Chain A
């Protein structure tokens, strides 16, 4: 699966672009042209995987990665809900990481790239630069979307992926925090400058998870000469740019099925008291569960500095752990 693998691979340097598996030809070209950005792309993908695993830690499908080529298994190559989430979070992750790299000065092309305010140095002096987020989003658009576009944007899968990629980026753009500072005479609000700050990535993950829960099942229809995705159930209101869409319903992820990259839920921990998906009833697909008493060692009453120094006591606690059969 797409940029993901480049992430799990090593740092992009020189001609490593070609060695990266999972990139299509156009992406390899982009990689060569934007070498400095690739490291952030890699970090963005890592960020996306971490976030995905965090958001899905309590579900049957827990975003676990495999060592084989489609990192998430077949689940993601089909048009499922899960695929929708993975596409969205990874395009968001790339945009996020590139924007961050811009702000730390690691990239030279950001902001004043000439597309927004004319020629670079004069433009900067005259009216400042565009936000770094604009560059991050634009890069994510060109790098991540190129996969689908090159396939020809007519297939329903391509349309779905493009839509979900965009939804991921929208999750960042629509959650930008506006912060302001007054700096007029004596610090009064006569002059006020506002800027947009990126939300923490956890928030983006939460938003997308919400969208995942309310994702719309769509099908392809031809309206005029263009093909569009419309909700399968015509009584549902049409999805917006920010919503996730999917084509196929997901498998139940209960059983181990290596061929499709499904790990199954046996051996997973579950919550005995919960009635939701993390509860043992649902998580174990009715197969029942073991209960063990385990002593866990936790760190408690810690003393720490802001960095690099933590001194904790070890607390022992006995907990009941439930694992699916």
Chain B
């Protein structure tokens, strides 16, 4: 790899993330998600038996018999069991589209009086149709329970009479594809004195819903980005693997890990989401989670192994089993989160209203998984910090004894040190960028005004960070690929001294980016010795 080439590539790589970050934001990309409010319409189910579901429309043609508020129901002697809260998603004159990727619905209750925290039982059904005048088709039906957590912010005096309780929003529904244009929700709150169902929930004034979906514009930009990134990472991956197979020796562990990182990046990049536009694949959300999880696990393992391989002590590692202590927690943590996700989103494939958090056992189970995963993560970071510390200690130890070493050994160690510090630097930079942007996007409301046009900070954040980590993996494979120059050369010790001396001069005088490749060469020579 010539210096010139490296300089150019390095320059391009460095200028890329900034470019992508700004272009991602400054383009017309809208914010990632939209939340829409719905006020449910209180319909009266006039038929006496509720066994066969008939769909009640809140507005439009064939709308149901409405009541304005529940006092009216009282005076008309309508029973609680005959009241259906109907919500049509979306609002009139709008259509849902597959570009929305998912719909998440949140339920909020306005409650006037209440005894204590109670369980509310909801009889919910979801239907869809694709044209405004078609028949509703049932999509899901379930009887769900939710725990009401309400508080009365101000003391119960006459002053505050008529104020509603502040109730926590309840997660209500999640569907992983938006394959249909219109959705209809019918919610009943059955009362059964004998079974103590919905007896103590207080007086409900209104049922409000908030639906969240991904913006079509954001989806398109995101897909475009993935479609563009996939071949670039894939090509560099193929190139990298070719370099490795060209060598006479078997690939070392670090090389394999980098390659695996490349594979998981490609896996996450492959825009299978395109299929969600045409097919009703509800598992896409779950699949996306799994892909992300795999990548995170791979990245964390890579850092550990990279540190381990630069330990510069005499231990022979180069095997995955040597890292079981560090990689173990990652595997356990990732597995826990996987199980948790399967329990939540996996079950939601069958029942979109399901949530693991609604029951006590479920909550405990979910908390257990998350806590175990959290402990594993902490453990991992302790190991990582410890290893980095060890490496730095070894580095300072080696640096003091460097001048006394033979040239070959010195070059080897200098190379290792440089290589390690280089990766340390870019990793820290990437992580810092991620954290800073994350915090900024959480603190600000997600958009900044620059003169006339608003920048959607959140979209810029997502596209920018995603692009940055792609670049990170790209850079890793590109820079840490073994050099092909000395491929197959059988060098004597004398030769080596001269040639590497020259090369080292090159690496120190020119760009830093050159370092790793050179160093790798040296390391290999050392191995050949």
Contacts and interface: CB of A to CB of B under 8 A. Distances in A.
Interface of A: 54, 100, 102-108, 110-112, 120-121, 124-129, 131-132, 179, 181, 183, 185-187, 189, 191-195, 197, 200, 202-203, 304-310
A112 B341 CA distance: 35
Contact of A307 (B30, B74, B446): B74
B34 A127 contact: yes
Contacts of A110: 91
A102 B91 contact: yes
A305 B210 CA distance: 25
A112 B216 CA distance: 15
A195 B37 contact: yes
Given A104-B38, A120-B93, A194-B445, A305 B80 contact: yes
Contacts of B55: none
A104 B63 CA distance: 13
A89 B80 CA distance: 33
A125 B80 contact: no
B70 A194 contact: no
B267 interface: no
Contacts of A128: 30-31, 34, 36, 213, 215
A307 B34 contact: no
B80 A308 contact: yes
Given A305-B191, A305-B198, A125 B74 contact: no
Contacts of A124: 90, 94-95
B337 interface: yes
Interface in B146-171: 162-164, 169, 171
Given A108-B93, A128-B36, A186 B70 contact: no
Contacts of A200: 110, 163-164
Nearest to B74: A308
Given A104-B39, A193-B34, A307-B73, 16 more contacts: A104-B59, A105-B92, A121-B94, A125-B95, A126-B217, A127-B31, A129-B94, A179-B169, A185-B293, A186-B337, A191-B33, A193-B35, A195-B37, A305-B199, A306-B189, A306-B202
Please provide the 4 A-B residue pairs with the shortest distance between their CB atoms, ordered closest to farther. A128-B34, A127-B30, A195-B35, A104-B39
B70 A187 contact: no
Contacts of B292: 185
B39 A129 contact: no
Nearest to B40: A104
Nearest to A178: B445
A193 B34 CA distance: 7
B457 interface: no
A100 B79 CA distance: 25
B127 interface: no
Nearest to B369: A186
Interface in B375-399: none
B442 A183 contact: no
B198 A185 contact: no
B310 interface: no
Contacts of B212: 181, 183, 193
Contacts of A194: 35, 445-446
Given A121-B95, A308-B79, A183 B104 contact: yes
A297 B79 CA distance: 26
Looking at A105, A106, A179, A202, which has the most chain B CB atoms within 10 Å of its CB? A105
Interface in B19-57: 30-41
A125 B99 contact: yes
Nearest to A203: B163
B215 to A, nearest CB: 5
B341 A129 contact: no
A124 B108 CA distance: 24
Contacts of B208: 103
A128 B113 CA distance: 36
B39 A100 contact: yes
Contacts of A304: 113, 203
19 contacts: A104-B38, A105-B88, A106-B59, A125-B95, A125-B217, A126-B216, A128-B213, A131-B37, A179-B210, A185-B288, A185-B293, A186-B340, A187-B344, A194-B35, A306-B189, A307-B204, A308-B73, A308-B79, A310-B74
A120 B91 CA distance: 12
A127 B215 contact: yes
B175 to A, nearest CB: 12
A221 B169 CA distance: 49
A302 B73 CA distance: 18
